Structure 1
Amino acid sequence: MPDFGLDITPRPDLPAVVARWQREISETELHDGYFAILAAADALGCWRWLLDLRRREELATPALTYWMNHDFFPRLVGRYPAPVRIAFLASPLRAQQQASDSSVATISAKSRIEQGYLTALFTDEAAAYQWLAE
Protein backbone atom coordinates (compact mmCIF):
# COMPACT_ATOMS: atom_id res chain seq x y z
CA MET A 1 0.00 0.00 0.00
CA PRO A 2 1.51 3.38 -0.95
CA ASP A 3 2.31 5.73 1.91
CA PHE A 4 2.76 9.01 -0.01
CA GLY A 5 5.49 9.88 2.52
CA LEU A 6 2.72 10.05 5.08
CA ASP A 7 1.94 8.32 8.38
CA ILE A 8 -1.80 8.41 9.18
CA THR A 9 -2.82 7.55 12.73
CA PRO A 10 -6.47 7.36 13.78
CA ARG A 11 -6.88 8.74 17.30
CA PRO A 12 -10.40 7.75 18.39
CA ASP A 13 -9.50 8.86 21.93
CA LEU A 14 -9.31 12.52 20.83
CA PRO A 15 -11.17 11.92 18.37
CA ALA A 16 -8.93 12.98 15.50
CA VAL A 17 -7.01 11.76 12.50
CA VAL A 18 -3.32 12.62 12.78
CA ALA A 19 -1.33 12.73 9.55
CA ARG A 20 2.43 13.30 9.61
CA TRP A 21 4.48 13.74 6.48
CA GLN A 22 7.77 11.90 6.97
CA ARG A 23 9.77 13.19 4.01
CA GLU A 24 9.81 15.56 1.08
CA ILE A 25 6.99 14.76 -1.34
CA SER A 26 5.85 15.60 -4.84
CA GLU A 27 2.67 17.47 -5.63
CA THR A 28 1.09 14.20 -6.83
CA GLU A 29 1.99 12.54 -3.52
CA LEU A 30 0.43 15.49 -1.71
CA HIS A 31 -2.86 15.02 -3.60
CA ASP A 32 -2.80 11.28 -2.94
CA GLY A 33 -1.95 11.89 0.71
CA TYR A 34 -4.90 14.23 1.20
CA PHE A 35 -7.23 11.63 -0.31
CA ALA A 36 -5.73 8.99 2.03
CA ILE A 37 -6.42 11.32 4.99
CA LEU A 38 -9.99 11.77 3.75
CA ALA A 39 -10.44 7.99 3.48
CA ALA A 40 -9.12 7.51 7.05
CA ALA A 41 -11.43 10.26 8.31
CA ASP A 42 -14.40 8.73 6.50
CA ALA A 43 -13.66 5.33 8.05
CA LEU A 44 -13.84 6.93 11.52
CA GLY A 45 -16.53 9.49 10.71
CA CYS A 46 -14.02 12.01 12.09
CA TRP A 47 -13.97 15.68 11.14
CA ARG A 48 -10.97 16.67 13.29
CA TRP A 49 -7.61 16.44 11.54
CA LEU A 50 -4.08 17.31 12.64
CA LEU A 51 -1.74 17.63 9.65
CA ASP A 52 1.92 17.72 10.73
CA LEU A 53 3.96 19.55 8.09
CA ARG A 54 7.20 19.88 10.05
CA ARG A 55 9.18 17.35 7.96
CA ARG A 56 7.83 18.49 4.63
CA GLU A 57 8.85 21.51 2.60
CA GLU A 58 6.26 24.02 1.49
CA LEU A 59 4.73 23.11 -1.85
CA ALA A 60 3.52 26.59 -2.67
CA THR A 61 2.23 26.79 -6.22
CA PRO A 62 -0.82 28.42 -7.77
CA ALA A 63 -1.81 24.99 -9.13
CA LEU A 64 -1.82 23.52 -5.62
CA THR A 65 -3.93 26.39 -4.29
CA TYR A 66 -6.38 25.91 -7.14
CA TRP A 67 -6.56 22.16 -6.46
CA MET A 68 -7.18 22.70 -2.73
CA ASN A 69 -9.88 25.32 -3.29
CA HIS A 70 -11.64 23.79 -6.31
CA ASP A 71 -11.19 20.04 -5.90
CA PHE A 72 -10.31 19.01 -2.35
CA PHE A 73 -12.10 21.46 -0.03
CA PRO A 74 -15.43 21.24 -1.92
CA ARG A 75 -15.49 17.51 -1.11
CA LEU A 76 -15.80 18.40 2.59
CA VAL A 77 -19.13 20.25 2.39
CA GLY A 78 -21.80 18.29 4.27
CA ARG A 79 -19.59 15.21 4.51
CA TYR A 80 -19.67 15.02 8.31
CA PRO A 81 -22.09 16.20 11.03
CA ALA A 82 -19.83 19.22 11.67
CA PRO A 83 -17.39 21.25 9.55
CA VAL A 84 -13.96 19.65 9.20
CA ARG A 85 -11.43 21.21 11.58
CA ILE A 86 -7.93 21.07 10.08
CA ALA A 87 -5.03 21.98 12.37
CA PHE A 88 -1.82 22.50 10.39
CA LEU A 89 1.26 21.93 12.57
CA ALA A 90 4.39 23.73 11.32
CA SER A 91 7.80 24.66 12.68
CA PRO A 92 8.04 28.14 14.22
CA LEU A 93 10.36 29.30 11.41
CA ARG A 94 7.99 28.10 8.72
CA ALA A 95 5.01 29.69 10.46
CA GLN A 96 6.83 33.06 10.46
CA GLN A 97 7.84 32.96 6.80
CA GLN A 98 6.21 35.38 4.39
CA ALA A 99 2.87 33.97 3.24
CA SER A 100 2.25 33.54 -0.46
CA ASP A 101 -1.20 32.89 -1.94
CA SER A 102 -0.57 29.16 -1.88
CA SER A 103 1.27 28.78 1.42
CA VAL A 104 -0.16 26.79 4.31
CA ALA A 105 -0.24 29.99 6.36
CA THR A 106 -2.54 31.60 3.80
CA ILE A 107 -4.69 28.51 3.29
CA SER A 108 -5.07 28.15 7.06
CA ALA A 109 -6.21 31.76 7.36
CA LYS A 110 -9.06 31.17 4.91
CA SER A 111 -11.40 29.03 7.00
CA ARG A 112 -14.79 28.83 5.38
CA ILE A 113 -17.36 27.23 7.64
CA GLU A 114 -20.03 27.60 4.92
CA GLN A 115 -17.77 25.57 2.64
CA GLY A 116 -17.39 22.76 5.15
CA TYR A 117 -14.10 23.46 6.90
CA LEU A 118 -12.19 25.48 9.48
CA THR A 119 -8.40 25.71 9.48
CA ALA A 120 -5.72 27.05 11.79
CA LEU A 121 -1.92 27.07 11.86
CA PHE A 122 -0.05 25.96 14.99
CA THR A 123 3.55 25.59 16.14
CA ASP A 124 2.54 23.79 19.35
CA GLU A 125 0.94 20.35 19.09
CA ALA A 126 -0.91 20.62 22.43
CA ALA A 127 -2.51 23.90 21.31
CA ALA A 128 -3.54 22.25 18.04
CA TYR A 129 -5.26 19.40 19.89
CA GLN A 130 -6.99 21.89 22.17
CA TRP A 131 -8.34 23.80 19.14
CA LEU A 132 -9.47 20.56 17.50
CA ALA A 133 -11.47 19.68 20.63
CA GLU A 134 -13.50 22.92 20.53
Structure 2
Amino acid sequence: MTNFGLDISPRPDLPAVVARWQREISETELHDGYFAILAAADALGCWRWLLDLRRREELATPALAHWMNHDFFPRLVGRFSLPVRIAFLVSPLRAQQQVSDSSAVALSAGSRPEQGFLTALFTDEAAAYQWLAQ
Protein backbone atom coordinates (compact mmCIF):
# COMPACT_ATOMS: atom_id res chain seq x y z
CA MET A 1 0.00 0.00 0.00
CA THR A 2 1.39 3.42 -0.92
CA ASN A 3 0.00 6.59 0.63
CA PHE A 4 1.44 9.77 2.13
CA GLY A 5 4.77 9.14 0.40
CA LEU A 6 4.88 5.85 2.27
CA ASP A 7 5.02 2.23 1.14
CA ILE A 8 3.65 -0.20 3.75
CA SER A 9 4.34 -3.90 3.26
CA PRO A 10 3.61 -6.86 5.50
CA ARG A 11 6.47 -9.28 6.12
CA PRO A 12 4.65 -12.42 7.30
CA ASP A 13 7.96 -14.30 7.45
CA LEU A 14 9.10 -12.18 10.45
CA PRO A 15 6.21 -11.23 11.10
CA ALA A 16 6.55 -7.47 10.77
CA VAL A 17 5.10 -4.42 9.10
CA VAL A 18 7.69 -2.60 6.99
CA ALA A 19 7.02 1.06 6.22
CA ARG A 20 9.33 2.94 3.85
CA TRP A 21 8.99 6.63 3.19
CA GLN A 22 9.64 7.21 -0.51
CA ARG A 23 9.93 11.01 -0.62
CA GLU A 24 9.95 14.19 1.39
CA ILE A 25 6.70 14.61 3.33
CA SER A 26 4.81 17.22 5.28
CA GLU A 27 4.04 16.96 8.98
CA THR A 28 0.40 16.17 8.12
CA GLU A 29 1.55 13.35 5.83
CA LEU A 30 3.73 12.05 8.65
CA HIS A 31 0.73 11.91 11.00
CA ASP A 32 -1.39 10.22 8.33
CA GLY A 33 1.46 7.80 7.58
CA TYR A 34 1.80 6.74 11.22
CA PHE A 35 -1.95 6.12 11.40
CA ALA A 36 -1.73 4.06 8.19
CA ILE A 37 1.07 1.99 9.75
CA LEU A 38 -1.07 1.48 12.84
CA ALA A 39 -4.04 0.40 10.70
CA ALA A 40 -1.86 -2.09 8.79
CA ALA A 41 -0.48 -3.44 12.07
CA ASP A 42 -3.99 -3.77 13.48
CA ALA A 43 -5.17 -5.64 10.38
CA LEU A 44 -2.26 -8.08 10.69
CA GLY A 45 -2.21 -8.21 14.50
CA CYS A 46 1.47 -7.32 14.20
CA TRP A 47 3.45 -5.59 16.93
CA ARG A 48 6.81 -5.50 15.06
CA TRP A 49 7.43 -2.48 12.84
CA LEU A 50 10.40 -1.44 10.70
CA LEU A 51 10.20 2.26 9.80
CA ASP A 52 12.67 3.12 7.02
CA LEU A 53 13.42 6.85 7.20
CA ARG A 54 16.40 6.87 4.84
CA ARG A 55 14.64 8.56 1.90
CA ARG A 56 13.14 11.50 3.73
CA GLU A 57 14.50 14.41 5.69
CA GLU A 58 14.10 14.63 9.43
CA LEU A 59 10.88 16.29 10.52
CA ALA A 60 11.71 17.51 13.98
CA THR A 61 9.60 20.13 15.71
CA PRO A 62 8.29 20.60 19.25
CA ALA A 63 4.75 20.14 17.89
CA LEU A 64 5.70 16.79 16.36
CA ALA A 65 7.35 15.64 19.60
CA HIS A 66 4.18 16.57 21.47
CA TRP A 67 1.98 14.74 18.94
CA MET A 68 4.12 11.57 19.11
CA ASN A 69 4.25 11.52 22.90
CA HIS A 70 0.70 12.67 23.69
CA ASP A 71 -1.38 11.42 20.77
CA PHE A 72 0.30 8.61 18.84
CA PHE A 73 2.30 6.60 21.39
CA PRO A 74 -0.55 6.47 23.94
CA ARG A 75 -2.63 4.64 21.32
CA LEU A 76 -0.19 1.71 21.57
CA VAL A 77 -0.83 0.90 25.24
CA GLY A 78 -2.48 -2.53 25.48
CA ARG A 79 -3.19 -2.63 21.75
CA PHE A 80 -1.26 -5.87 21.17
CA SER A 81 -0.32 -8.78 23.43
CA LEU A 82 3.26 -7.47 23.61
CA PRO A 83 4.70 -3.94 23.43
CA VAL A 84 5.11 -2.65 19.87
CA ARG A 85 8.74 -2.96 18.73
CA ILE A 86 9.61 -0.04 16.46
CA ALA A 87 12.92 -0.23 14.58
CA PHE A 88 13.88 3.10 13.02
CA LEU A 89 16.19 2.58 10.03
CA VAL A 90 18.29 5.65 9.19
CA SER A 91 21.46 6.58 7.33
CA PRO A 92 24.73 6.53 9.32
CA LEU A 93 24.98 10.34 9.08
CA ARG A 94 21.47 10.80 10.42
CA ALA A 95 22.17 8.39 13.28
CA GLN A 96 24.84 10.80 14.50
CA GLN A 97 22.47 13.77 14.58
CA GLN A 98 20.08 14.69 17.35
CA VAL A 99 18.04 17.61 16.09
CA SER A 100 15.25 17.72 18.67
CA ASP A 101 13.03 15.65 20.93
CA SER A 102 11.08 14.45 17.87
CA SER A 103 14.11 13.31 15.85
CA ALA A 104 14.41 9.60 15.09
CA VAL A 105 17.54 9.48 17.25
CA ALA A 106 15.67 10.91 20.25
CA LEU A 107 12.53 8.84 19.67
CA SER A 108 14.54 5.64 19.41
CA ALA A 109 16.11 6.32 22.79
CA GLY A 110 12.68 6.62 24.38
CA SER A 111 11.55 3.00 24.76
CA ARG A 112 8.68 2.78 27.18
CA PRO A 113 7.42 -0.81 27.50
CA GLU A 114 5.02 0.24 30.27
CA GLN A 115 3.47 2.60 27.70
CA GLY A 116 3.19 -0.05 25.01
CA PHE A 117 6.33 0.30 22.91
CA LEU A 118 10.06 -0.35 22.54
CA THR A 119 12.21 1.55 20.06
CA ALA A 120 15.69 1.22 18.63
CA LEU A 121 17.74 2.98 15.96
CA PHE A 122 19.56 1.09 13.20
CA THR A 123 21.74 1.88 10.22
CA ASP A 124 21.76 -1.77 9.11
CA GLU A 125 18.51 -3.38 7.97
CA ALA A 126 19.58 -6.93 8.88
CA ALA A 127 20.36 -5.82 12.44
CA ALA A 128 16.93 -4.16 12.64
CA TYR A 129 15.20 -7.38 11.57
CA GLN A 130 17.24 -9.34 14.11
CA TRP A 131 16.14 -6.95 16.90
CA LEU A 132 12.51 -7.15 15.76
CA ALA A 133 12.63 -10.96 15.91
CA GLN A 134 13.48 -10.96 19.64
2:70 corresponds to which residue?
70
| Alpha-carbon shift at residue 54 of structure 1 (Å) | 0.1
1:49 partner SS: strand
CA distance in 2, matches of 1:73, 1:100: 17
Where do residues 72-91 of structure 1 align in structure 2 (5 Å cutoff)?
72-91=72-91
1:25 partner SS: coil
Work out the number of aligned pairs and report it: 134
| Alpha-carbon shift at residue 101 of structure 1 (Å) | 1.8
TM-score by length of 1: 0.97
1:61 corresponds to which residue?
61
Unaligned runs of 5+ in 2: none
TM-score by length of 2: 0.97
CA distance in 2, matches of 1:10, 1:2: 12
Q: Percent identity at matched positions?
A: 87
Task: Name the aligned partner's letter for residue 37 of structure 1.
Answer: I
CA deviations on 1:23-43 (whole Å, 9 max, x unpaired) are 000000000000000000000
2:104 corresponds to which residue?
104
CA distance in 2, matches of 1:99, 1:133: 29
Tell me the C-alpha RMSD between the 2 structures.
Answer: 1.1
- Does the alignment pair 1:94 with 2:91? no
CA deviations on 1:66-101 (whole Å, 9 max, x unpaired) are 000000000000000000000000000000113422
CA distance in 2, matches of 1:94, 1:17: 22
Unaligned runs of 5+ in 1: none
1:25 corresponds to which residue?
25
Point out 4+ residue stretches in structure 1 off by more than 3 angstroms. Answer: none
CA contact (8 A) 2:87 2:122 kept: yes
2:126 corresponds to which residue?
126
